[in-house]
Amino acid sequence: MVYRHVDFRRDRPEILVVDQLEGARDHFVEVFFHGAVGAKTVKYLGSAVAFVWDDGSTVQIQVDTDAPLSWEERGGWFSPSYGVKLPRPIWVATAEVRLSKQFRWKLTALGDLSEKEVPLKQSRS
């Protein structure tokens, strides 16, 4: 059983997603993050990854969990209309965990992703 809570506020360029996994035994967990067309993938030290576009716009994905987590880049596609497929990247977080387990995902917009620039300190540690 998965319980998901999403917190989004307009005063900050971030989304917090909390996944609470309940159950018994060990389970293999995969969580998919699909980038938009034109994004490139960047893996930071630690448990952070990002999608980056040529104009400098960035969406950073961080996770807070005690589970041993791995990131894998996969190829995907987006179809804007019938018969058209445009490539796009996918980050997949994987873990072998004993339930119950919580994952706290923080997606942060860095750079000019909107009409209104929001000053942020970019963390690339």
**Mean pLDDT, residues 8-13:** 86
Q: What is the pLDDT of residue 45?
A: 77
**Residue 22: pLDDT over 80:** yes
Fold for 2-110, please state it: Beta-galactosidase; Chain A, domain 5 (2.70.98)
- Rounded CA separation 119/125 (Å): 19
Which of 25, 34, 23 has the alpha carbon at shortest distance from 77? 34
Q: What is the pLDDT of residue 40?
A: 95
**Residue 114: pLDDT over 60:** no
pLDDT per residue over 64-106, tens digit each?
Answer: 999 999 999 999 998 989 999 999 999 999 999 999 999 999 9
Q: How confident is the model at residue 112 (pLDDT cuts 50, 70, 90)?
A: low
Bridge partners (DSSP) listed for residue 14: 108
**Residue 123: pLDDT over 70:** no
0.85 surpassed by pTM: no
Contacts of 30 (CB under 8 A, 6+ apart): 92, 93, 94
Query: Which sequence spans correspond to the domains of the chain?
Result: 2-110
Q: How confident is the model at residue 5 (pLDDT cuts 50, 70, 90)?
A: very high
Q: What is the pLDDT of residue 122?
A: 43
